[in-house]
Amino acid sequence: MAKAKVYVTRRVPKPGMDLLAEHFDIDVYEDEEAIPHDVLVNAMKAKPYDALYCLLTDDIDKEVLEAAGPQLRIVATMSVGYEHIDLQECAKRDILVANTPGVSTDSVAELTVALLLMTARRLSEGVESVKQGEWGDWRPKWLCGTELTGATLGIYGLGRIGFNVGRRLKPFGFSQIYYTDVHEVSYAKDIDAEFIDFDGLIQKCDFICVCCNLTPQTRHMFNADVFKKMKNNAILINTGRGGVIQHDDLVEALKNGDIAAAGLDVTEPEPLPLDHPLVLLKNCVILPHMGSNTWDSRNAMSEIAARNCIAAISNQTPEGNVCTS
């Protein structure tokens, strides 16, 4: 029997590639950079693929799905986030959508803690000062940052990642951990986190970690009005999705001193252009979306996305099934 056909939008780590090659007839877009949208549409038209294995850089919209044709069973993304996939269009066509939850929780939570410490203690400025020969005699007021001990921590989105950020940060001795989410969650008690509404979170917290998905409800949740209500000493960390923060407003808030600093692993757009005002600000630490960049996470993500394709083609429910109805 002929093998099912899968289109893969980038060469992914070996565990995923091996599994795909073992089970399917695969075509891969062989480039380091993301596949251009028109190239993906044309690739989908060229052959009747049963599965589309994609990444978070690929816009899987109506045009791609139409080009793919009615035999397409699944869009499997090698990511936790799936805001790049048009779920409604997939649901209309009975196409499954699956992501890779769970396996990047630790890597993203670790990176969040690292970014929070980098931002609070001005570590990138320190590293740069050594390279630029600015390290002079010990100076009493030079590169002073903010302590975590005794501060209030807010977590916006206490899902798997948010909880694991809280678990790792708790031993630093915050006076209180608050969280905001759609509902109260029972496991919050394991990190002594108190549920609070969004207004309370932004007004009470010295550190806020954004750990939520991007949805129509969370888009631009952090905007000029919110920055004005936040504490002037507040530090905002985002390892969720760039779109949760209104970036022009953030530039103004960081310049005006509405908030003290920001640490961003995700931005809008990505990559952020080199001449973007945020890149020039000393009180903004920016990383190039590297939350899940560990071999453990990336190997596991590549494998789960492949297993999701195998499940869908064998008429089983993929483990990362995203509800599309």
282: nearest Cα among 143, 75, 166: 143
Residue 20 interacting with ligand 3PY (CB under 6 A): no
Name the minimum Å distance from CB 288 to ligand 3PY.
11
CA distance 252 to 150: 28
Per-residue x/- marks for ligand 3PY, 28-57, CB under 6 A?
Answer: ----------------------------x-
Site for ligand 3PY in 262-301 (CB under 6 A): 291-292
Structure tokens belonging to residue 130? 């050594």
Q: Is 183 a catalytic residue?
A: no
Q: Which span sits near ligand 3PY by CB under 6 A: 28-36, 37-45, 79-87, 190-198?
A: 79-87
Q: Which span sits near ligand 3PY by CB under 6 A: 77-85, 114-122, 133-141, 278-286?
A: 77-85
172: nearest Cα among 122, 124, 116: 116
CA distance 139 to 204: 32
Question: Residues touching ligand 3PY: how many (CB under 6 A)?
Answer: 7
Choice among 23, 183, 247, 289 that is catalytic:
289
322: nearest Cα among 129, 74, 109: 74
Q: Which span sits near ligand 3PY by CB under 6 A: 78-86, 157-165, 187-195, 218-226?
A: 78-86
| AA identity, residue 247 | H
Residue 102 interacting with ligand 3PY (CB under 6 A): no
Compute and round to an integer the Cα radius of gyration of the chain.
22
Q: By three-state DSSP, how is residue 115 classified?
A: helix
Q: Which of 104, 180, 246, 308 binds ligand 3PY (CB under 6 A)?
A: 104
CA distance 24 to 51: 10
CA atoms within 13 A on the CB side of 229: 13
Provide the pairing of β-strand 5-8 with 51-54: parallel
Q: Which long-range contacts (CB under 8 A, 24 or more apart) does 183-189 make?
A: 185/158, 187/163, 188/158, 188/163
Identify which of residues 113 and 259 has a Cβ nearer to ligand 3PY in the complex. Answer: 113
Residue 80 interacting with ligand 3PY (CB under 6 A): yes
Residue 238 interacting with ligand 3PY (CB under 6 A): no
Q: Which span sits near ligand 3PY by CB under 6 A: 38-46, 75-83, 250-258, 309-317?
A: 75-83
Residue 81 interacting with ligand 3PY (CB under 6 A): yes
Identify which of residues 152 and 299 has a Cβ nearer to ligand 3PY in the complex. Answer: 299
CA distance 162 to 148: 17
Q: Which span sits near ligand 3PY by CB under 6 A: 74-82, 118-126, 129-137, 253-261?
A: 74-82
Residue 308 interacting with ligand 3PY (CB under 6 A): no
What number of other Cβ atoms are within 10 A of residue 35's Cβ? 21
Identify which of residues 25 and 106 has a Cβ nearer to ligand 3PY in the complex. Answer: 106
Q: Give yes or no for a contact between 59 and 35, defined as CB atoms under 8 angstroms apart.
A: no
Strand ranges across the sheet with 5-8:
25-28, 5-8, 51-54, 74-77, 96-98, 321-322
Name the minimum Å distance from CB 243 to ligand 3PY.
12
- List of residues contacting ligand 3PY (CB under 6 A): 56, 79-81, 104, 291-292
Q: Which residues are catalytic?
A: 289
